[in-house]
Homo-oligomer: A and B are copies of this chain.
Amino acid sequence: MKVTIKDIARLAGVSTATVSKIINNKDDSISKDTRDKVIRIMKESNYVPNTIARSLVTKKTKTIGLVIPDIANPFFPELARGAEDKANKEGYNLIICNTDDDTAKEDRYVSMLVEKMVDGIIFTASSERTSDFISLRNTKIPIILVDRDIDLEGINGKITVDNFIGAYEGTRHLIEQGHKDVIFIAGSLKSKTSIDRLNGYKKALQDYSIEFKEENVIEGSYKTEWGYEAVSNLLNKKQNFTALFCANDLIAIGAIKALKENDIKTPQEVAVLGFDDIYISKLVDPQLSTVRQPIYEMGYKSVEILIDILKNKSSKEKDVVLIPELIIRDSTVKE
């Protein structure tokens, strides 16, 4: 049978209130004797407090919901790890939810999280999402947006990356390597994220007096397959290009693959630049130059801000924009 606070109280000959105070370190007024005794008995009985019961009273579960599109997408494990590290450090646990960018699943998960009385939610929205969460309305559960920047009612914080600057720096790097015909292989062009990146690309072109051509921007999805397909199409159409700026690393990897199969050398004949700097980027050949997003930090920071809000009802830095960093490896520079 599970031992409860009552058992401990009985065994120690004290009240449950006393035991409770000791458990919660509110024992300023408890004599060392009783304290020691109670602690000893708790140890001896392998007592584990029931936080569910506690939560019912305190309205705090020390649990955070992490709602992301897909933990199997290489971008998110790092984000999740950052979030979990900070959460754990502060005594919180993380409930993980995979939405597959499906707003209906998003709604269902958020509702489940509300039922479970999580203290807060970290949320990466699908690009389809436009409305807030009904199940959240009657609560004061804070929600922090991470990665995807959308405008939503009742958001308590936002961690994003400056995609404009990232794309600008990336494009500039390519231009400085002597490239004039830079194709921008976009993922979906529906999200603010993608549009910011596209605008960064355009601005760099403009600053270097390179004409922007519509046909140099092609839109698909954020997947390896799209990178492969995009390059195949380009080649078929015999479109001119010496550099490829891919909206994420997965696309870049697919692009390089297509290039290879057509005996086109990276970076000697075509330079390829990615975005994100996922774990794999260092592992492919050639090693991928990319615009690094501080993914781990985004996860970590989002929980940090969330907890800050939990403690102080608000956070000074509720909207954090992290600056991406250009990582130059082998896929963009000729030796």
A residues sitting closer than 8 Å to B (CB atoms) are 1-3, 46, 48-53, 55-56, 61, 63, 66, 70-72, 74, 76-78, 80-81, 84-85, 88, 93-98, 111-117, 134-135, 137-139, 224, 253, 257, 260, 279-280, 283-285, 296
Contact = CB atoms under 8 A, between A and B. Distances in A.
Nearest to A45: B138
Contact of A114 (B48, B93, B137): B48
Given A48-B115, A56-B52, A115-B51, A94 B96 contact: yes
A294 B53 CA distance: 39
A177 B85 CA distance: 45
A98 B296 CA distance: 14
Given A55-B52, A114-B48, A280-B283, A93 B95 contact: yes
A25 to B, nearest CB: 15
Contact of A280 (B52, B112, B280): B280
B50 A117 contact: yes
B46 A134 contact: yes
Given A74-B74, A85-B98, A283-B224, A116 B138 contact: no
Contacts of A50: 56, 115, 117
B48 A111 contact: yes
Contacts of A94: 95-96
Given A81-B98, A93-B116, 9 more contacts: A46-B137, A50-B56, A51-B117, A52-B56, A56-B56, A70-B81, A74-B77, A77-B77, A260-B285
A253 B78 CA distance: 20
A139 B95 contact: no
A112 B93 CA distance: 8
A61 B52 contact: yes
A112 to B, nearest CB: 6
Copies of this protein in the complex: 2
Given A77-B76, A94-B96, A96-B96, A48 B138 contact: yes
Nearest to A93: B95
Given A46-B135, A115-B48, A137-B46, A84 B98 contact: yes
Contacts of A52: 52, 55-56, 61, 116-117
Contacts of A55: 52
B49 A115 contact: yes
Contacts of A117: 50-52
A156 B46 CA distance: 21
Nearest to A91: B112
A46 B2 CA distance: 36
Nearest to A256: B285
A75 B137 CA distance: 38
Contact of A138 (B46, B63, B76, B93): B46
B2 A51 contact: no
Contacts of A283: 224, 253, 257, 280, 284
Contact of A63 (B84, B116, B139, B296): B116
23 contacts: A1-B138, A46-B134, A48-B111, A48-B135, A50-B56, A51-B115, A52-B52, A61-B116, A71-B77, A71-B80, A72-B77, A72-B80, A74-B74, A74-B279, A76-B77, A88-B97, A93-B97, A93-B112, A93-B116, A224-B283, A257-B285, A284-B284, A285-B285
